[in-house]
Amino acid sequence: AYQADVATVLRNGCFSILPATELVPGDIVEVGVGCKVPADMRMVEMLSHQLRVDQAILTGESCSVAKELDSTSAMNAVYQDKTNILFSGTVVVAGRARAVVIGVGSNTAMGSIRDAMLRTEDEATPLKKKLDEFGTFLAKVIAGICILVWVVNIGHFRDPSHGGFLRGAIHYFKVAVALAVAAIPEGLPAVVTTCLALGTKRMARLNAIVRSLPSVETLGCTTVICSDKTGTLTTNMMSVSKVCVVRSVHQRPITDEYSISGTTFAPDGFIYDASENQLEFPPQSPCLLHIAMCSALCNESTLQYNPDKKSYEKIGESTEVALRVLVEKVGLPGFDSMPSALNMLTKHERASYCNHYWENQFRKISVLDFSRDRKMMSVLCSRKQQEIMFSKGAPESVMARCTHILCNDDGSSVPLTMDIRNELEARFQSFAGKDTLRCLALALKRMPEGQQSLSYADEANLTFIGLVGMLDPPRDEVHSAIHSCMSAGIRVIVVTGDNKSTAESLCRQIGAFEHLDDFTGYSYTASEFEGLPPLERANALRRMVLFSRVEPSHKKMLVEALQSHNEVVAMTGDGVNDAPALKKADIGIAMGSGTAVAKSASDMVLADDNFATIVAAVAEGRAIYNNTKQFIRYMISSNIGEVVCIFVAAVLGMPDTLVPVQLLWVNLVTDGLPATAIGFNKPDGNIMAVKPRKR
């Protein structure tokens, strides 16, 4: 499912479609939009202005990566930094290119993940280890007592009542066996299994689907949760969160800033001004109206509703889909009843109603695709014999081509002065720096009537419309869930392939850093961590909160390092890249919306993709352990009485008090059923206020 079936490969002087399994290193392969990369390849020729590849399956990061012919000079470059390499299983989302095959099968990045999974051995759960230790201890004690009883009674072997020495020896051997039967809690395996099964049923009600029965209890003693960022702590749905426009050049401050609610691709959300007042009719703002217009037309993505999954899904770039959603939140001009009218639409219609309005109002004539040197794209549109070019791209590139700005107070266009430019650049730096938002600038230009094509020279003398900032937003419930984990003595380490600054901003939002201002010693990139001496690395493991810029091998390395320090590690993830770490962890937790590979490597699946469900599952795991401990004590107390009764009778030479069949009945039935009832005990009220027990 994750590998390409066919490839367009150069053979005998011409390109032909062949099975991907026939590729060998040295083959020249051509890839285009929608193609799965059939092997690990190095770029040799660009056939379009740009090539963008979705590497989420490999890195877990939702943003596509722009590829280029030049190799990176960075030492220890991670997959995201290897911009001249196409990785097997990733998907081309824009452009065309040719590349030479450098690795197939196990010699690819995806192959290394598969090999890492195969090499990983299943670890025994803490409960299984404790039960094994208890069983070993019990066996030694029972063996010692049985031998002692037999040896103590050697003098009674010749008792005439036994009918001879040999029969006497056999009689006391039977007594020793009865003693062993009395000491062994035969009902323990059945009761433990029943208790775990009951816990599995309760967890299923919490949307935690248990795939491995022994792992039910493991969460209860978890000391560290290593959580993947994208898709686990965040929604994995790029969303516009802030918009900046120029209000007026005649009053200070000259800019207006809007915040947008909503953290998914669903077109449900509101726009708020700087005073946090909701805008009743956003299209009445000239800049917001033109931002919606530009976002709908200068866009090559699609937003649609999936009735099977009951969610909105993207086709194309996440950033472009975020702009599509913004258009729906802004609404349409000229209708005071528009907000309520939109709510009457079906979910399928609502997905693109406003976008379709603008696409019907304008006729798209020509497109200038995005290129790495320009860092922008433009589209020429026509409406009522009026031609307009809409542009979007990197703020520094778009603003460098702007000579005018659109004012939000009256919709007028005024010259872009150096003071205004400096203030807009400061706002951009705030968005990209402090807020770590991914920023795009939008602009337009009135074109001569009848123009039918665009050239790069047309991208000059633009009118600046506004600046939009977007991010992959954190899930609403994550902040309180992390606080609950900390209260329970569980450390949360955020693991991501994203940039360090972006990840630190998210950790600050979700409360992972608590009230820290200086993240030194708490935040490490994979290369920084690998470069630490052993002693400093051990100290880093005790304090680490963020592990960024990681590859699949780094995630597994982190799990192994924590386990070597006697930590019980839970690992969450949703992608193929998470699979080796999920399998290596004491308990692997996959998201319900994750890949089949991640689910197969996990011990538990969160059906609702909710990090907070882990907290509820931890409480359930602790309750299961407490109940297990209680019914073991109950069963052993009964067994001790049986052992003492038989041992005293044997030492004193008294007749058998209990025969083995009676002992089995007591252990399996009389003790087993009450012990099973203990498994229904509800958890203590303070169960999440105590520290996790040691491994």
Query: What confidence tens digit (pLDDT) does each residue in 225-261 have?
Result: 999 888 788 888 899 999 999 998 888 889 999 999 9
Q: What is the pLDDT of residue 288?
A: 96
Predicted pLDDT at 687? 84
- Residue appearing with tokens 């990369």: 37
Torsion angle in degrees (nearest 10) through CA of 345, 346, 348, 352: 10
Same domain, 26 and 148: no
Q: Are 115 and 188 within one domain?
A: no
What is the value of pTM for the model shown?
Answer: 0.77
**CA-based nearest residue to 95, from 43, 28, 56, 60:** 43
Whole-angstrom distance, CA of residue 602 vs CA of residue 580: 10
User: Both tokens of residue 240?
Assistant: 């516009």
**Average pLDDT, integer, range 507-532:** 88
Q: Which of 231, 224, 239, 309 is nearest to 577 (CA)?
A: 231
Name which of 7, 85, 94 is nearest 53 in CA terms. 94
Per cent of the chain over pLDDT 70 is: 98
Q: Do the beta carbons of residue 226 and residue 572 sit within 8 Å?
A: yes
Q: DSSP string spanning 454-495?
A: --GGGS-SEEEEEEEEEE-PBPTTHHHHHHHHHHTT-EEEEE
Residues forming a β-bridge with 53: 65, 92
Does 153 lie in the same domain as 92? no
**CA atoms of 430 and 425, how far apart (whole Å):** 9
The owner of tokens 């000059």 is 460
Tell whether the model's pLDDT for residue 337 goes beyond 60: no
Share above pLDDT 90 across residues of the chain, in percent, rounded to a whole number: 44
Task: Tell me the C-alpha distance between 388 and 245, whole Å.
Answer: 20
The predicted-structure confidence for 198-235, as pLDDT tens digits, reads as follows: 888 888 998 999 998 888 878 888 999 999 888 788 88
Residue 83 lies in a domain: yes
Say if residue 633's pLDDT is above 90: no
What mean pLDDT do residues 151-163 have? 77
The pLDDT value recorded for residue 540 is 94
Distance between CA atoms of 20 and 24, rounded to whole angstroms?
9
Residues 457 and 347 reside in one and the same domain: yes
One domain, residues 294 and 439 = yes
Q: What is the CA radius of gyration of the chain?
A: 33
Q: Distance (Å, rounded) from C-alpha 251 to C-alpha 415? A: 15
Residue 228 is a catalytic residue? yes
The tokens for 542 are 């005790």
Residues 91 and 145 in one domain: no
Cβ 615 vs Cβ 489: under 8 Å:
no
Same domain, 188 and 133: yes
Residue 615 lies in a domain: no
Q: Please indicate, yes or no, whether residues 640 and 673 belong to a single structural domain of this protein.
A: yes
Q: Per the domain annotation, does 416 fall within a domain? A: yes
What's the pLDDT at 128? 81
Does position 334 have pLDDT exceeding 90, yes or no? no
Residue at a domain's end among 421, 440, 471: 471
Average pLDDT over every residue of 343-363: 92
User: Would residue 320 count as lying in a domain?
Assistant: yes
pLDDT tens by residue, 123-133: 777 778 888 88
Rounded CA separation 413/433 (Å): 29
Amino acid identity at 419: D
Over 70: is that where the pLDDT of 186 sits? yes
Here the CATH number for the domain that contains residue 262 is: 3.40.1110.10
Catalytic residue among 27, 40, 54, 228: 228
> How sure is the predictor about 457, in pLDDT bands with cuts at 50, 70 and 90?
very high
Beta bridge partners of 604: 210, 589
Give yes or no for residue 480 having a pLDDT over 80: yes
Is residue 495 domain-resident? no
Are 218 and 586 within 8 A, CB to CB? yes
Q: Within a domain: residue 674?
A: yes
The per-residue pLDDT of the chain, averaged, comes to 88
For residues 246 and 373, membership in a common domain is answered with yes
In a domain, 487, yes or no: no
End residue of a domain, out of 84, 119, 154: 119
Can you tell me the distance from the alpha carbon of 137 to that of 499, in angstroms, rounded to the nearest whole number? 50
**Packing angle of the helix pair 611-651, 126-152 (nearest 10 deg):** 0
Domain span at residue 157 reads 126-194+630-678
Residue 138 included in any domain: yes
Q: Is 24 a residue whose pLDDT tops 60?
A: yes
Domain shared by 247 and 155, yes or no: no
pLDDT score recorded for residue 693: 77
Do you know the residue count of the chain?
695
User: How many domains does the chain fold into?
Assistant: 3
Tokens standing for residue 613: 């469900």
**Is residue 247 located within the same domain as residue 294?**
yes
Output the domain CATH number for residue 115.
2.70.150.10
Domain end marker among 439, 471, 503:
471
3-state secondary structure 181-193: HHHCCCCHHHHHH
Co-location of 333 and 184 in the same domain: no
Is the N-terminal amide bond of 253 cis, ω within 30° of 0? Answer: yes
